[in-house]
Structure 1
Amino acid sequence: MAIEDSLAQIDELFRRVAKFKDQFTEQHSFSRQQMLLLITLLCKKRTTVGELAEELGLSTSATTIAINRLVISGHIDRTRDETDRRVVWVELTEPATETIMRLKETRDQILIGMLQKLTAEEQEQFIGLLRKMTTDLIIKQ
């Protein structure tokens, strides 16, 4: 298969995934970026804006803008460190934690359904190939 044919097929598959993600996030009024930010915070519990920006591969200013919107909507709490006032901590609010856990469980069930279409060997191959393809992947903004 020519590389151009592979690229066309990859584009189509990425569009399908993006369409699914858009439908999923729109149902819950979160953008893709917000959803990724919220799931990252669910895993990290509490972090600084800079650490979160680095984890997401975003600029600090873009991350701050997203956080500001989520603070206003009641999904994120922002607090200053008591020993160093320059440090600002962000974490999910309790209601947001419950919401994001439910959304993550729904997403996980969908992904499990997709993975179950593959044999255990195919799952290992898929993960290995995806890992190989995404190693050192840097998207310049």
Structure 2
Amino acid sequence: MITQEFAKLWWKLSKDLRHHMETELAPTLTEGQLTVLELLMSQERMKPSDFISFLATTPAAITTLLDRMEKAELVIRERDEKDRRIVWVLVTDKGKEECQRGIQIRERFLQNYLSRISSHNQQLLVYLLGKVANA
């Protein structure tokens, strides 16, 4: 059955990527932290609550994640100058460096997988995955 084969292949690819990322990012970064850094690089600053929809987790887990990241000097939290109730999360220079390192690790891993098929089939694969993901 096609769905079973798809599920098996998807699980294997996901597992391989997760294992590789956990191993290569350690000890300074986790995948969740890399996601936060990538979001901050594209947004400049975000409120802690903004991360919930991207990370599919609880506010308490976001707070714990940001606490660890702040302790590791990857992010800083600042109060809004006009409304002190608002806290902004910003990426530090160290966070930017770690983000670039994490992206490079992921890119090399994925390129290794994609290099097994032609450039045309790579584009087709991305197109088809886009169709499935946006369905």
- How many corresponding residue pairs? 135
Query: What is the correspondence of 1:117-128 to structure 2 with a 5 Å cutoff?
Result: 117-128=116-127
Q: Aligned pair 1:12/2:12, yes or no?
A: yes
Distance in 2 (alpha carbons) for counterparts of 1:92 and 1:107: 20
Q: Give 1:14's aligned amino acid.
A: S
Q: 2:107 — aligned with what?
A: 108
Gap change, CA 1:15 and 1:110, over 3 Å in 2: closer
Q: Pick 1 or 2: higher relative contact order, CA cutoff 8 A, min separation 6.
A: 2
Q: Secondary structure at the match of 1:78?
A: strand
Q: Secondary structure at the match of 1:84?
A: coil
Q: CA deviation at 1:63?
A: 1.2
Query: What is the correspondence of 1:23-34 to structure 2 with a 5 Å cutoff?
Result: 23-26=23-26, 28-34=27-33
Q: Percent identity?
A: 22
Q: Give 1:12's aligned amino acid.
A: K
Gap change, CA 1:95 and 1:29, over 3 Å in 2: closer
Distance in 1 (alpha carbons) for counterparts of 2:10 and 2:101: 30
Normalised TM-score (structure 2): 0.81
Q: 1:92 — aligned with what?
A: 91
Q: Secondary structure at the match of 1:118?
A: coil
Contact 2:17–2:109, Cα closer than 8 Å, also in 1: no
Q: Secondary structure at the match of 2:89?
A: strand
Output the aligned Cα RMSD: 2.2
Question: Which segment is superposed worse, 7-16 or 61-70?
Answer: 7-16
Q: Give 1:50's aligned amino acid.
A: S
